[in-house]
């Protein structure tokens, strides 16, 4: 499985993904699920993927191939005029790949389900965040629902529900994303380190922060342990209140 989380805030966008994939419990690998493109000053785009790995890799591969070998009349992530158009291009690529492999997978009893988070900003437009489904259709994050999760989303949802609004500072949202991931890592073996973090500050039109957090990252380790202790302290407070 996978856990990817993207938040659209007034100050910018935070994207966080894990890197574990598994075909059954005894076949676990590490694959990047976070992909970025930028033309500094013009656009910054981050895609995160969940679901059938062959499908999502093929979608990313097709999107990259269209960039590498541009054809007349074919829009790419780097030529699209708007983020809405970028989401359409990703949806179209998803549909193409599903048409190519969907029927054969269904015949084998395998799922071709996949989803892609599309986040970013194009010069002249505002930052936008989309969730592209396996059918190529998509929804957009709004004021009321400023975040999307794909993959193993349930463990890490409570903390996000409690702290995130559009007004949350970008730095604080990064902390919330990391703690949401930490809860998921602890409760579900199919989500694993390292993590890929991407921050797009509003109107910067570049990767404001883009890094891998490794399993032995001392700062993340301290955060994880600190959160465990803080939760236990908060719990003891509640225990005293209830009993």
Cβ-based neighbours of 95, under 8 Å, separated by 6 or more: 135, 136
**Least distance (Å) between residue 232 CB and a copy of itself:** 7
Q: Which helix (H) or strand (E) holds 13?
A: strand 12-17
Q: How near is the Cβ of 22 to a copy of itself at its closest, in Å?
A: 17
Between 76 and 188, CB nearer to a copy of itself? 188
Tell me the per-residue interface mask from 121 to 160 with a copy of itself, x by CB under 8 A, - otherwise: -------------------------------x-xx-xxx-
CA max distance for the chain: 71
Question: Residue 151 has which token pair?
Answer: 């993959």
Q: Is 25 in the site for a copy of itself (CB under 8 A)?
A: no
Under the binding rule (CB under 8 A), the answer on residue 235 touching a copy of itself is yes
Is residue 106 a contact residue for a copy of itself (CB under 8 A)?
Answer: no
CA distance 3 to 153: 6
Q: Which of 6, 179, 199, 207 binds a copy of itself (CB under 8 A)?
A: 179
**CA 128 to CA 9: how far, in whole Å?**
10
Residue given tokens 């699209």 in the structure block: 80
Among 60, 176, 207, 213, binds a copy of itself (CB under 8 A): 176
Distance CA 200, CA 181 (A): 19
Among 100, 123, 186, 211, binds a copy of itself (CB under 8 A): 186
Contacting range for a copy of itself; rule: CB under 8 A; set: 30-38, 69-77, 121-129, 179-187:
179-187
112 Cβ contact partners less than 8 Å away, ≥ 6 residues apart: 51, 52, 55, 98, 101, 102, 105, 106, 134
30: contact with a copy of itself by CB under 8 A: no
Which structure tokens are listed for 204?
């910067």
Comparing CB distances to a copy of itself, the nearer of 95 and 157 is 157
By CB under 8 A, tell whether 228 contacts a copy of itself: yes
């Amino acid at each position: 499985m996978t856990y990817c989380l993207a938040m659209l805030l007034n100050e910018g966008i935070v994207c966080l993904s894990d890197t574990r994939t598994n075909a059954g419990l005894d076949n676990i690998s590490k694959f990047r699920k976070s992909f970025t493109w930028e033309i500094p000053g013009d656009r910054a785009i981050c895609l995160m993927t969940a679901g059938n790995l062959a499908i999502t890799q093929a979608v990313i591969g097709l999107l990259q191939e269209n960039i590498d070998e541009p054809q007349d009349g074919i829009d790419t992530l780097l030529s699209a005029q708007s983020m809405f158009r970028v989401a359409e291009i990703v949806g179209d690529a998803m549909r193409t790949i599903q048409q190519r492999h969907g029927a054969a997978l269904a015949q084998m009893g395998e799922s071709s389900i996949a989803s892609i988070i599309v986040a970013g900003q194009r010069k002249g437009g505002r930052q936008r965040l989309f969730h592209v489904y396996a059918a190529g259709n998509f929804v957009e994050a709004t004021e009321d629902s400023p975040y999307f999760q794909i993959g193993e989303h349930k463990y890490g949802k409570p903390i996000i529900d409690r702290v995130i609004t559009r007004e949350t500072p970008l730095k604080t949202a990064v902390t919330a994303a990391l703690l949401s991931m930490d809860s998921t890592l602890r409760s579900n073996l199919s989500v694993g380190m390292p993590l890929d973090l991407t921050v797009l500050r509003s109107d910067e039109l570049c990767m404001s922060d883009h890094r891998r957090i490794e399993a032995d990252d001392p700062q993340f380790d301290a955060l994880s342990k600190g959160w465990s202790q803080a939760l236990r302290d908060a719990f003891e407070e509640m225990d005293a209140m209830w009993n």
